[in-house]
Amino acid sequence: MTKNELIELLFEAYKNGSLVTPKHNPKELSKVMPKFRTVISDEVYDNLYHCLETGIEKIYEYQNSKGAYYEICLNSKYEFASSGVHEYCPFPFEGYNRIIAVYGEKRKWHIFGETSTKIEEKIKIGELINKVELV
């Protein structure tokens, strides 16, 4: 897959309203959840179309046990692309610097947040393999 092909798929999910699930939607923070989650930052969420169009610096594709896993590195305008949220908590506790795009049969294309440090940990333990930069 090329970078532009993935971006087109994400645009389609955006247009269909499925790209950001309620679990990862910053407008749904008041609905506390029983497990840790990440939410997309308000800045990214409120400007999602523009962010996909001009805010992506690099995209890396990996493989994991569920299929393809895409690390989206945004430009410096979106330093904190997402945040971690503790269980039963209505507010984020730290900023995350990556957006992850995945495809699932149930949720289709959707995005969530992650840290570059956590991605590196997943690579080291073999949870993410076959890193390729999309061009």
pLDDT at 83: 96
pLDDT at 106: 81
Domain that holds residue 118: 3-133
Where are the strands (E) in the chain, listed by range?
37-40, 56-64, 67-74, 82-85, 94-96, 98-104, 108-114, 129-133
CA 109 vs CA 17, 87, 89, 91: distances in Å: 10, 24, 26, 25
What string of pLDDT tens digits covers the 135 residues of the chain?
Answer: 999 999 999 999 999 999 999 999 999 999 999 999 999 999 999 999 999 999 999 999 999 999 999 999 999 888 899 999 999 999 999 999 999 999 988 889 999 999 999 999 999 999 999 999 999
d(CA 131, CA 71): 10
pLDDT at 107: 80
pTM of the full structure:
0.94
Per the structure, the count of domains in the chain is 1
